Chains A and B, each alone.
Chain A
Amino acid sequence: MYRRWLWPGFALPGIVWLIVLFVVPFYAVLSVAFGTVDPILGQPVPIWNPLEWNAGWVIEVLERLSPGGTFAGVAVRTVVYIAVALGLSLLIGYPVAYYIARHAGRTKSLLLILLIAPLWISYLMRMLAWVNLLAPDGYVNRFLVFTHVLSEPRDWLGGQASTVILALVYGYIPYFILPLFAALDRIDRSHLEAARDLGASPFGTFRHVTLPLSKVGILGGAVLIALPMFGDYYTPNIVSGAPETSMIGNQIDLYFHGGPQPTIGAAITVVLSVFLTVLMAYYLWTIHRASREARLA
């Protein structure tokens, strides 16, 4: 009896903590999103019984998200920003991860430390650094004017989509490179030698061996940074603050901190969570398929 309950007993405090402060709170979001609003005070009235849930708010959010709705522009912008940021992260991150995994030699440890360092520098500090650099009289404008790329300083922080996308890339790319590096580092060199021995060109080896073997790493890194990007509201707020660059996270933030309607905020959160769960499920399914193929091969 004592033995049987020993190990679950160890896990118990953590499990209870996560149920009370992770699962139950998420259920509270559902209850508010599927709840009603007090007609006089405007306060949300959660409905705890799922059988009595009122889908009105979630349906309203879905309607506003669909083409022509008031959230449609924000939704499209969020997806476009994140897609472009992912593309840029891949373009910058793949060569870096590839070089460190394959060719860095003696400098590998040093480069890894430098690669990990940004993860331990507060995200807000790194955004603050760019706000300093992109200010009207900051280094970036002064450099661009000095080299005559720009005739006069540009207002980078006044609601430019390019600034927000670059800030997203700068903020999240370290989280993308590391899983990618791990995947590339794990590739057995004998596979590459075999490909070369069988007559593949260096590029052919890359295309037919390295790239397919690193696909899981690319996907893992992409999911790892796409999930927090979908919930990001502080990056656009810091480097732009303009409504023209607001993302879906900003809408949630507005409905809780700016506006009087947490119910709509909760409904957007629910819709976003469902979307991200689908994304996550797709990723897990891909990994599962890849590992099964690897076992069969």
Chain B
Amino acid sequence: MSAVAELQAPPTRSSVGRFRGWLTNPWGRPRFLVVMTWAYVVWSLVPVLIAVQFSFNSTRSRTVWQDFSTRWYWGDPVDSVWHDPGLRSALVQSLKLASADVLIATPIGVLLAIGLARWHGFGSRPSNFLMLFPLVTPEIVMGVSLLLIFTEVFTFVGTGTTAQILGHVTFSISYVVVIVRGRLFSIGRQYEEAAADLGASPTGALVRVLLPLLAPAIVASAAVVFAISIDDFVISQWLSSGGDTDTVPIQIYSATRAAPLPSTNAIATLMMLLTLASVTLGFLVWRAFTRGERRAGAKVAEEFRTFEMR
């Protein structure tokens, strides 16, 4: 009797042993992968959260936490984001470039996407190929080429805000095309053909049928363009003429290499919120517009594909 009880009693194990048993449990999900995945997520996001935390530090340190304060946002009369002329003009410049980029790149990209999807004649294949190049070209190569063209050939442009806007639009167009083209393929041609059968001209079908169907993709691509323009560092830096044309990423870069204050963290936090808000808005609009089209149980994962091409 006692021998049987001994056999049936659960083996007593140390907590380490129990953790190892839980980790290597051969049934159910592989626990090792669970731990690894969540560790990765923590590693990828927690440093940023700590940087956000220190933007609210009450002292000049970015490494030793004192008290919560909004000093570095507007409280400090000299070094806060609101009062430091350098940071403030950087914020204005970043917003200026991003807005101009959205206004120029979105229409050009949408037209290019429609044109490339419908045009099958001579020149369409090289054009498709050309559109993909800015996506795979390292930014420094684009930076060097644009700097040289604006200082050697199009000297009337020079460096500065105009050059920066032209550069941002150049790398943004392809993102718009990729997003809008994905939507064009999922819409198919049948709606336009139905409109044509009912007597619509090609432009009529385009304005009344295709454009409303493309609306979610247009909004999404505008949001993506805004976000990548705000986050861009390389092109802005190469085409900057210093002073007022320095954007927020350039300020973060030079501050980090010198002696950064928590105000650098504060302005970085503001830009991060702006980017995340813009992308979330784009995503929500996309979801709201395409609500009726989703199959029951369609995965959010699939929709995210649109947003992951960066």
Please give the residue numbers on chain A whose beta carbons come within 8 Å of chain B beta carbons, in ascending order.
3-4, 6-15, 17-19, 21-26, 28-29, 32, 44, 46, 92, 95-96, 98-100, 103-105, 108-109, 111-133, 135, 137-139, 170, 173-175, 178, 182, 185, 227-228, 230-234, 237-238, 241, 249, 252-253, 256, 262, 265-266, 269, 272-273, 276, 280
Contacts and interface: CB of A to CB of B under 8 A. Distances in A.
Contacts of B86: none
A125 B140 CA distance: 19
A18 B134 contact: yes
Contact of B268 (A108, A119, A124, A135): A124
Contact of B119 (A11, A103, A123): A11
Return the 9 tightest CB-CB contacts between A and B, nearest first.
A231-B138, A11-B115, A14-B112, A10-B115, A25-B145, A7-B119, A231-B140, A99-B33, A129-B51
Nearest to B171: A22
A105 B45 CA distance: 22
Given A17-B108, A21-B170, A139-B63, A32 B300 contact: no
B125 to A, nearest CB: 12
Nearest to A185: B301
A269 B116 CA distance: 30
B173 A17 contact: yes
A173 B146 CA distance: 28
Interface stretch (B17-25, B70-78, B249-257): B249-257
B187 interface: no
24 contacts: A3-B202, A6-B203, A7-B115, A7-B119, A11-B119, A14-B111, A18-B170, A21-B146, A25-B149, A26-B145, A32-B152, A44-B152, A98-B33, A103-B33, A109-B301, A114-B41, A123-B233, A124-B252, A125-B268, A128-B51, A132-B47, A237-B257, A238-B257, A241-B257
Nearest to A29: B145
A252 B144 contact: yes
Nearest to B36: A95
B220 to A, nearest CB: 13
B141 A22 contact: no
Nearest to A118: B44
B40 A96 contact: yes
A73 to B, nearest CB: 20
Contacts of B45: 114, 117-118
B51 A14 contact: no
Contacts of A173: 44
Given A7-B115, A17-B169, A126-B48, A228 B301 contact: no
Interface stretch (B4-12, B95-103, B272-280, B289-297): B272-280
Contact of B138 (A3, A15, A115, A276): A276
Contacts of A9: 115
Given A7-B115, A92-B40, A125-B268, A99 B30 contact: yes
Nearest to B255: A128
A133 B112 contact: no
Contacts of A11: 111-112, 115-116, 119, 124, 127
B87 interface: no
Contact of A228 (B48, B139, B238): B139
A7 B114 contact: yes
Contacts of A17: 108, 169-170, 173
Contact of B62 (A15, A122, A135): A135
A119 B41 contact: no
B148 A262 contact: yes
Interface string B100-129: 000000001101101110110101100100
B110 to A, nearest CB: 9
Given A21-B166, A95-B37, A234-B233, A28 B307 contact: no
Contact of B271 (A22, A104, A125): A125
Nearest to B116: A11
A154 B98 CA distance: 40
Interface in B201-254: 202-203, 227, 230-231, 233-234, 238, 249, 252-253
B82 interface: no
A60 B145 CA distance: 20
Given A22-B142, A125-B48, A130-B47, 13 more contacts: A14-B177, A23-B130, A32-B148, A111-B41, A112-B304, A118-B44, A118-B45, A125-B272, A127-B256, A132-B63, A170-B47, A174-B44, A252-B144
A123 B231 contact: yes
Contact of B47 (A32, A129, A175, A276): A129
B260 A128 contact: yes
Indicate the member of A14, A26, A112, A253 with the most B CB atoms within 10 Å.
Answer: A14
